Amino acid sequence: MATKLPRIAGYVQPKTKARLREMSRTTGRPIGQILDVAIENLSVDRKDWVAQQAGYQTMLTVALLTALARKQLGNDQFAQVRDLAAQAALHVFGPLGERPFDIPVGLPDDERLATISMAFLADDDR
């Protein structure tokens, strides 16, 4: 098929080639289109991600400062402030995308920081 799209070449494992052909057969899409979508989905624009992460962390910092003042707020008031901060981050910066890398982090060892961390976890994550 004639096309003006650029051509790329590479070596893959035989099982990868077989998987690509099977995906092409079952979806009816050409292999090039499958690879194009896969590469697009795997590539992350680091500048956008870093900007989004910086904004998100800024909003979390605001929420953290609120958590430190929690003694002054009741549970309902604190939940409202936490939800408001999460909503503000979502509306201003959009949903936080998947990280281009994964850093496994558990709860902090310090009991005070662990308590603050638990305050920000959704009920499902506890």
Q: What is the pLDDT of residues 35-89, one digit of tens each?
A: 998 888 887 778 888 888 888 888 888 777 766 767 677 778 877 877 887 888 7
Q: Of residues 22 and 85, which shows the higher confidence score?
A: 22
HSE at residue 112, side-chain half, CA atoms within 13 A, is 4
- What CA–CA distances, in Å, run from 80 to 74, 95, 119? 10, 20, 12
Lowest mean pLDDT among 40-44, 52-56, 95-99, 119-123: 119-123
Residue 23 is given by DSSP the state H
Token duo for residue 70: 């929690």
Residue 100 has pLDDT above 70, yes or no: no
| Tokens representing residue 12 in the block | 């893959």
Q: What is the CA radius of gyration of the chain?
A: 22
Tokens (6 digits) for 5: 């799209």
Q: Look-up: residue for tokens 């799209």?
A: 5
* pLDDT, tens digit (0-9, with 9 covering 90-100), for 23-39: 999 999 999 999 998 88
Q: What is the pLDDT of residue 126?
A: 46
For the chain, give the percent of residues with pLDDT over 70. Answer: 82
Cβ–Cβ under 8 Å, residues 31 and 21: yes
Amino acid in the structure at residue 123: D
> How many residues are present in the chain?
126
Distance in angstroms (rounded) separating the CA atoms of residues 52 and 92: 9
